[in-house]
Structure 1
Amino acid sequence: MSITLTDVAKDYSSSVKIGPVTTEIQSGGVTALVGPNGAGKSTILTMIGRLLDIDTGEITVAGHDVVNTPSKTIAKILSVLRQENHFVTRLTVRQLVGFGRFPHSKGRLTIGDEKYISEAIDFLNLTDLEDRYLDQLSGGQRQRAYVAMVLAQNTDYVLLDEPLNNLDMQHAVQMMKQLRRAADELGRTVVIVLHDINFAAHYSDKILAMKDGQVIEHGTPREIMRDDVLTSIFNTDIQVIEGPNGPLAVYY
């Protein structure tokens, strides 16, 4: 089952509009949403995750209409990590990750819930940090803890809004490798908003490129990573070269 958007639109003002967007994100693998600032990437993601109301159109996830399906059902199908996280810092890593089980436990953690929490912590290499408080962690460690929380929710669909923000190159690479593993080893469908087109090309199976509130291109990295396509999307001269692990965009 896939994520489908049919004539989805969001109007902020007479001059700022998203859509109408009609597209389908196939289940499985990693799909990256890319495009310039203000293109509508985060808006589309948060509408899929039902964190933002749509004005018109329909969004379905695995056949469920996200507007009309009960929240408790949606929360067992998809999980969302927004850019802004405002948890109280005097939470430990394990306590934070435990919030991912709330749709299942309603705050009363079972042995089964604890198993999912431990598996998510281990998967994100946080075992040695699980008793640390969030304000004792580096930015990269804290971001991994938030992603572990989302994975602990154990949903087939995982939506991530710019999880590489504030990460240096090393930690950004580590994060993308872990998300790639989540798709490959855990069978999750990962939909991720990215700013770096080269990260999208290297780690994703499909790229959905947006501009001015519209989906301009949707295809494999090979289909999107072309001089003319990227130059049109980002409004700057871009040359695509063949790197050691696939196509790379060079800005000039």
Structure 2
Amino acid sequence: MTLTPAADTRACVDTDHPAIRAEGVTKRYGRTVVVDDVHLDLPLGGVTALIGPNGAGKSTLLSIVGRLLTADGGRVTVTGLDVATTRSDELAKRMAVLRQENHLDIRLTVRDLVTFGRYPHSKGRPTADDLEHVEKALHYLDLDHLADRFLDQLSGGQRQRAFVAMVLCQDTDVVLLDEPLNNLDLRHAVSMMGRLRDAARELGRTVVVVVHDINVASCYADTIVAMRDGTVAACGSPADIMRPELLEEIYGLPVRVHELDGQLIATYYG
């Protein structure tokens, strides 16, 4: 089988009002095309996982959707708003973004960091309602006991959870997370994905995550977007994507897919 870009990735959704729409999105660095004419609709609600090998364009596409990067061509809308032209303060009430790398030059406590998530609403003057959102986010990510600790006193995994709490505290319709499982051990990675799935289902959020582990995507995502060489190779449910012939073409190695307790799990061998 020769892998070609998905002919109509809009088949990922069956609505005229997707949460995210990419139309002909392209990004180049010099002569290298890292995102190549991507057309994609992502559904409202649920968890969408972007998967693919290194260099597939996953993080670049997510960064363009989150307005962290400017596309060289095409257009992206989030809940109907053009990310290139919408005012930042308005967009920040609809979409929250967690970068892959987060560095701060000031010393903050966990509670201070999470409170930053309310800035689009509070403009730096948090109300009682804002503070209630902060406490809920701390509790949601199991950070109550770390709330008054400084970030530089935490492990990498604890800091990562604090940044995710900040993003959820922003209380947006759409949440974009670039490799949120970085620095997390197995227990906290499982807990994190469970929390994100709960946020999508119980809080009505649209959560889009870049993940490297295709089994995480299979177990926790409602929709999977598989990328390779800057294009969308396939998009659909875990059952649509977790097929050996498709995964072999995307990752370039033999794959077997097994059903375990109702979940589709891939194993690799060479």
Q: TM-score w.r.t. structure 1 length?
A: 0.97
Contact 1:89 1:135 in 2 (8 A): no
**Structure 2 partner of 1:98:** 115
For residue 225 of structure 2, the aligned residue among 208, 211, 222 is 208
Point out the more displaced range, 173-182 or 148-157: 173-182
For residue 58 of structure 1, the aligned residue among 61, 75, 84 is 75
For residue 228 of structure 1, the aligned residue among 239, 242, 245 is 245
In the alignment, the residues of structure 2 paired with residue 28 and residue 44 of structure 1 have an alpha-carbon distance, to the nearest angstrom, of 19
Q: Indicate the SS of the match to 2:76.
A: strand
The Cα of 1:177 is off from its aligned counterpart by 0.9
Point out the more displaced range, 84-93 or 242-251: 84-93
How do residues 11-26 of structure 1 correspond to structure 2 at under 5 angstroms? 11-26=28-43
The Cα of 1:157 is off from its aligned counterpart by 0.2
In the alignment, the residues of structure 1 paired with residue 186 and residue 30 of structure 2 have an alpha-carbon distance, to the nearest angstrom, of 37
Structure 2 counterpart of 1:135, one-letter code: D
2:206 is equivalent to residue 198 of structure 1 = no
Q: Which runs of 4+ in 1 moved over 4 A?
A: none
**Structure 2 partner of 1:42:** 59
Contact 1:8 1:21 in 2 (8 A): yes
Q: Indicate the SS of the match to 2:32.
A: coil
Could you say what the CA RMSD is over the residues aligned between the two structures, in angstroms?
1.0
2:236 is equivalent to residue 219 of structure 1 = yes
In the alignment, the residues of structure 2 paired with residue 120 and residue 244 of structure 1 have an alpha-carbon distance, to the nearest angstrom, of 31
Q: Indicate the SS of the match to 1:16.
A: strand
In the alignment, the residues of structure 1 paired with residue 117 and residue 34 of structure 2 have an alpha-carbon distance, to the nearest angstrom, of 32
Which residues of structure 1 form unaligned runs of 5+? Answer: none
Q: Deviations over 1:126-168 (max 9, x none)?
A: 1111111112222222111100000110001000000111222
The Cα of 1:200 is off from its aligned counterpart by 0.2
Point out the more displaced range, 104-113 or 45-54: 104-113
Structure 2 counterpart of 1:208, one-letter code: V
For residue 127 of structure 1, the aligned residue among 108, 131, 144 is 144
Contact 1:241 1:249 in 2 (8 A): yes
Structure 2 counterpart of 1:220, one-letter code: S
In the alignment, the residues of structure 1 paired with residue 227 and residue 196 of structure 2 have an alpha-carbon distance, to the nearest angstrom, of 22
Return closer, same or farther for 1:89/1:166 CA change in 2, 3 Å cut-off: farther
How do residues 64-79 of structure 1 correspond to structure 2 at under 5 angstroms? 64-79=81-96
Contact 2:58 2:227 in 1 (8 A): yes
In the alignment, the residues of structure 2 paired with residue 215 and residue 205 of structure 1 have an alpha-carbon distance, to the nearest angstrom, of 17
Q: Indicate the SS of the match to 1:85.
A: coil
For residue 170 of structure 2, the aligned residue among 127, 146, 153 is 153
Contact 2:157 2:182 in 1 (8 A): no
Q: Deviations over 1:204-237 (max 9, x none)?
A: 0000000000000000000000000100111111
Contact 1:89 1:134 in 2 (8 A): no
* Percent identical residues: 56
In the alignment, the residues of structure 2 paired with residue 8 and residue 64 of structure 1 have an alpha-carbon distance, to the nearest angstrom, of 16
In the alignment, the residues of structure 1 paired with residue 106 and residue 255 of structure 2 have an alpha-carbon distance, to the nearest angstrom, of 41
Contact 1:5 1:21 in 2 (8 A): yes
Contact 2:160 2:183 in 1 (8 A): no
In the alignment, the residues of structure 2 paired with residue 36 and residue 76 of structure 1 have an alpha-carbon distance, to the nearest angstrom, of 32
Contact 1:238 1:250 in 2 (8 A): yes
In the alignment, the residues of structure 2 paired with residue 89 and residue 53 of structure 1 have an alpha-carbon distance, to the nearest angstrom, of 27
For residue 185 of structure 1, the aligned residue among 202, 207, 215 is 202
Q: Indicate the SS of the match to 1:108.
A: coil
For residue 32 of structure 1, the aligned residue among 45, 49, 61 is 49
The Cα of 1:111 is off from its aligned counterpart by 1.3
Return closer, same or farther for 1:118/1:106 CA change in 2, 3 Å cut-off: same
**Structure 1 partner of 2:11:** none
